[in-house]
Amino acid sequence: GMLVAARAVQGIGGAFLAPATLALLTTTFEEGKERNRALGIWGATGSSGMVVGSLLGGVLTEAVGWAATFYANIPLVIGVALLGLRAIPADVPTERRQGFDVLGGLTGTGGALLLVFGLVQGPESGWVSPTTVISLVTAVALIIA
């Protein structure tokens, strides 16, 4: 249970990290060559980090044990957080601040969830089964909404 919960927390962290870093890049760097370079570096480090992390995770698991894979990220997170405090400019106050679109988040997430469910369920239940059809139709409606 603890392992599943810890991996879930890591997954949620990763889900927040990707859009947050993209937002920082697009607001920090001017459109054009500078932003293109930043996005290229972001893509290269993300993909290479995934590969290197998987390989080193296997080595670390063999050498020390699976629990070590949770602790290996702590120094990286601390280092990146400290560098981020220095490198990321503070937000400039604006007159109007938009709130989080809760309804949009729920409909988008629900639509994506039902779309995947319908596509996975289709081959098993049949593409014209009520479960599959209702899932896919509701998914499209939620995504459009």
SS3 for 55-79 is HHHHHHHHHCCCCHHHHCHHHHHHH
What is the value of pTM for the model shown? 0.53
Phi, psi of 99 (to 5 degrees): -85, 175
**What domain range is 139 assigned to?**
102-144
Is 29 a member of any domain? Answer: yes
Predicted confidence (pLDDT) per residue in 83-142, tens digit: 988 888 777 776 766 777 889 889 999 999 999 999 999 999 999 999 999 999 999 999
DSSP string for residues in 12-63: HHHHHHHHHHHHHHHHHSPTTHHHHHHHHHHHHHHHHHHHHHHHHHHHHHHH
Is 56 a member of any domain? Answer: yes
115 and 82 within one domain: no
Kindly state the percentage of the chain with pLDDT values over 70.
Answer: 97
Is 94 a member of any domain? Answer: no
Q: Give me the mean pLDDT over the 64-74 stretch.
A: 84
Kindly state the percentage of the chain with pLDDT values over 90.
Answer: 39
* Per-residue pLDDT at 73: 81
Count of the separate structural domains present in the chain? 2
78 and 35 within one domain: yes
* Per-residue pLDDT at 97: 65
